[in-house]
Amino acid sequence: MTLEIVGITVLGVFLFGYIIVASIDFGAGFFNAYSTVTGKQDVLAKIIQRYLSPVWEVTNVFLIFFFVGIVGFFPKTAYYFGSSLLVPASIATLLLAVRGAYYAFTTYGGLKHKRYTLLYGLTGLFIPASLSIVLTISEGGFVTLGESGPLLDYWALFTSPLSWSIVVLSLTAVLYISAVFLTWYAHQANDDQATSLLRKYSLFWAGPAIITATGIIVEMRTHNPEHYQRLLNVWWLFALSVVLFIGTVYLIWKQRAYGVAFGLLVGQFALAFLAYGLSHYPYLMYPYLTIYDSFTNKSMAISLVIAFIAGLGLLLPSLYLLLKLFLFNKDYIRGKQNDHV
């Protein structure tokens, strides 16, 4: 295995970790806001607050590792993606700052105003939508090389069916992942009312999530035929992903083994993520940039691999302790301890 593959694999692990953890976070915020609008805040507010209180400070650690790593391992990505992502990345950064401020003021300052709750919930939709533009741009057809460097064709980007398909997938996937996890979490807390409501959300968003994922593959056929053919070559990974999806929906429908259902969901997205990554290999951006012509020097690569593996070695045990001591601590999850950590 070459250093290029090791580097992109390490980055893939951090990116997938962020997708799962951030999706739960973003979805929880949206469901909290939605329950406020629909008058069901008393059902979900406590469960969601107990989840968010101990984890909001560590959610973006995965994202920070990924962005530092992508520039460290593949310096040319800053050249090709930098100017192109100036607007969407700035929007995402601003929205992340808004979320961080909301976390701080609600957790430590007692801020409870309805309008801030709604703003916080909407950021849970806008952030994944803005970040998903990176995936769209990587498919090619939106960036041209001019005299001053890479230029992003915003008109082509915002009128592309593929672009909007990816945006919709990011939204449905966030809500589906979050609903399934929170169903399990509410069940662990013996909160039957919250479990029932979140279970309905899980079943509702399951369909749109799988439909939009399929829609992206269909759109890829005309937008990027080369990648589409590579996707067909790993069809069996997508087939296994669908099997796990069916298993998740079945368990939630039958109201049993919610923890297993969430495990199947993580496996489903892991297989789909792997299939997409393998089919996208070796390109970082079609057709200009691959992992081989943009890789850093050998000594830097080895140092980064060691640093990131060490970071992962610290991060995973920390998350385990967070889950054990807070999220799935029986006293904490059932509200017998102070909700504000």
Residue 114 or 222, more confident: 222
- Identify the bridge partners of residue 146 per DSSP, sorted by sequence position: 149
Mean pLDDT of 223-242: 94
Predicted pLDDT of residue 341:
40
Residue pair 121/30 in contact (Cβ under 8 Å)? The answer is yes
| 134-159 residue pLDDT tens | 899 999 889 888 777 788 888 998 89
Residue 282: cis peptide before it, omega within 30 degrees of 0 = yes
DSSP H or E stretch at residue 335:
none
DSSP string, 162-225: HHHHHHHHHHHHHHHHHHHHHHHHHHHTT-HHHHHHHHHHHHHHHHHHHHHHHHHHHHHHHH-H
Residue 294 or 181, more confident: 181
Mean pLDDT of 111-119: 72
Predicted pLDDT of residue 40:
78
Predicted pLDDT of residue 164:
93
Nearest Cα residue to 74 out of 7, 161, 132:
7
Predicted pLDDT of residue 9:
92
Predicted pLDDT of residue 101:
74
Model confidence at 277, in pLDDT bands (50, 70, 90)? very high
Domains and CATH numbers, the chain: 3-333 (1.20.1630.10)
**Does the pLDDT at position 173 exceed 50?**
yes
Residue 127 or 326, more confident: 127
| 156-168 residue pLDDT tens | 988 999 999 999 9
Mean pLDDT of the chain: 85
Residue 53 or 69, more confident: 69
Mean pLDDT of 278-307: 89
Residue 27 or 87, more confident: 27
In angstroms, the CA 280 to CA 227 distance is: 6
**Does the pLDDT at position 258 exceed 90?**
yes
Mean pLDDT of 2-7: 88
DSSP H or E stretch at residue 59:
none
Determine the straight-line distance between the first and last CA of the chain, rounded to whole angstroms.
43
**Does the pLDDT at position 339 exceed 50?**
no
Residue pair 178/23 in contact (Cβ under 8 Å)? The answer is yes
Model confidence at 68, in pLDDT bands (50, 70, 90)? confident
Residue pair 21/64 in contact (Cβ under 8 Å)? The answer is no
Residue 337 or 237, more confident: 237
**Does the pLDDT at position 340 exceed 50?**
no
